[in-house]
Amino acid sequence: MKINHHHEPWTHITVDDFLTPSEWNSLQQLASDELRIFKSEGGNTPRGKYIKFYNYDLFPDSNKFFDLLPKTRSHGTLKKINHIAIQPPGNTYPVHIDNRSRINTAILYFSPEKSNGTILHKNSSPMVHDHGQPELSSEYTRDVEWKPNRLFVHNSIDGVTWHNYKSTDDIRITFQSFLVDPNLISKSRQDLDFLIDI
């Protein structure tokens, strides 16, 4: 496991070789099962992605990175939610800051071997709408390069941590983990059904 701190365009961490081979193999089976469903039924979200939540912690070792990053969002007692995300080829998720309940985000790049990572934006737009797009154009962007078994971690900062992601001409699979304040989760979100104690 190799931890790298980055500060442009905003502070984040990457962790290479995050999972051990046995942990990776366990997620490989989960990914294979969900990929079969995705290929049969397609996406299950409005933006065309396929999401499957789990009621157990897929990678508890990600929690330790929370304290290594700047914090600005106030929060109560944290819980965790995690899921697999399967993104169809050629699909783009717009520029956003994670919704206000998500205090820490950890994304594990999984499959394919080559894809797009996460595009980080230097953008001075305020966060007016929860999970909304910025009002201004970005000054510049910087990519968190895709590499299987690389974990990308950041703490959400309103008006700062703008980012987006997109798939190439192949299916893009990530495992996503969030430390959340349950009191800030919208009552309509299924996240509330999959809260994990940390």
Cβ atoms < 10 Å from Cβ of 6:
15
Identify whether 9 is preceded by a cis peptide bond (ω within 30 of 0). Answer: yes
How big is the CA angle at 95 (ends 14 and 194), to the nearest 5 degrees?
65
> Over the stretch 90-132, which tens digit does the pLDDT of each residue have?
999 999 999 999 999 999 999 999 999 999 999 999 988 787 8
Q: What stretches in the chain show pLDDT beneath 70?
A: none
CATH of the domain at 115: 2.60.120.620
Distance CA 140, CA 122 (A): 5
Single-letter residue type at 140: Y
SS3 of 71-84: the string is CCCCCCCCEEEEEE
Backbone angles phi, psi at 105, to 5 degrees: -125, 135
pLDDT of residue 188: 86
Distance CA 135, CA 137 (A): 7
Residue 53 contacts residue 83 (beta carbons within 8 Å): yes
The tokens describing 35, both together, are 């990929």
**Which residue in this structure is represented by tokens 């690389």?**
150
Identify whether 112 is preceded by a cis peptide bond (ω within 30 of 0). Answer: yes
Residue 84 contacts residue 107 (beta carbons within 8 Å): no
pLDDT of residue 131: 77
pLDDT of residue 72: 82
* Count of structural domains, the chain: 1
H/E element, 32: helix 21-41
What's the pTM value of the predicted model, to 2 decimals?
Answer: 0.95
The tokens describing 119, both together, are 């595009």
pLDDT of residue 77: 94
Burial 92-129 (b: 16+ CB within 10 A, else e): ebebbbbbbbbbbbbbbbbbeeebbbbbbbebebebee
The tokens describing 34, both together, are 């969900």
What residue numbers bound the domain in which 144 lies?
2-194
Cβ atoms < 10 Å from Cβ of 70:
13
